[in-house]
Amino acid sequence: MKGLKPSAALFALTVGSGMLMGSSSLMPFGLGLSLFIPALFIYTYLNHSPILAVVSSALAVITVVLFLKEAAADLVSVLLLGPLYLLLRRFGSSACVVGGALLITAATVLEEQFFGLPPEVKAELSHLASYRFALYFFSSAVFSTFTYGIVNWLVRKLHSVTELHFGFWTVILFTLSAAGTLVGTGTVKTIAINLLIISLALLIVQGTAVFLHFFPRLSGLWKLIVGLTIFIFPPGFFITALVLGLLDQKFNFRKSTNGGKENGSNPS
């Protein structure tokens, strides 16, 4: 039957990710596997059978709910990224990535309100409670970016993640929120810090798109060196992506390497 193999793989990947995400010690592996779920959903939906893609996903969620219901909320939000990317694909990669980030953020907030966060997560966020929603968006934006990038790699029928561009307003938001963080007090400072975290997320995402644009052009040795550097010191990548995101607003690196043509991203 057409599409049976990819739909079976989608079911197995979704259930396996959900089971791993339900274990505190194995959660990072579950999150890593879940990055591929939206890509496999879209691949099955577009190239084989939409019905099988939806049915296998639904059966996988039901299976996880029956055996490990505490992981179901996270799993459903990741699964919904696939249909969301398909829905937003005509609006460009920026809309897809931000839409995905908002979806995962909303799911995290709902999970917190109705089920409570895992004890280890709650302990880490105890001194950052006023900024947790912005931090949710930050982590969700990074997750959505890499998930969408994997979709590009497997499917190649959506706008490339390397086209992502938010516009100069992100620099304005970054500058004003940074100033508010430095000179503000009380509620004003709290709001400014939240906006600063959101602006950092958007700039890092855009910088990541610039990085992914140039990475394939590196030689094999430099790819290995850069990959190992990112693996050993991830904060260095985020700092580099932030700088690239800021500079890209001025120099538009991808336009300059595309013969002066626009990169196809959303307008400013």
Is the pLDDT at 101 greater than 50? The verdict is yes
The span from the CA of 254 to the CA of 235, in Å, is 24
Helix axes 27-34, 4-21, angle to 10 degrees: 150
Short-list 83, 211, 71, CA closest to 145: 211
Short-list 81, 83, 117, 128, CA closest to 102: 81
Short-list 54, 44, 112, CA closest to 80: 54
Domain-by-domain residue ranges, the chain?
1-158, 160-268
Q: What is the pLDDT of residue 21?
A: 83
CB-side neighbour CA atoms (13 Å) of 214: 16
Q: What is the pLDDT of residue 199?
A: 96
pLDDT one-digit tens code per residue, 185-214: 889 999 999 999 999 999 999 999 999 999
Checking phi first, is residue 3 left (phi over 0); if not, alpha (psi -120 to 50) or beta? left
Give the pLDDT band (50/70/90) at residue 159. Answer: confident
pTM value is 0.86
Q: What is the pLDDT of residue 267?
A: 37
Q: What is the pLDDT of residue 120?
A: 63
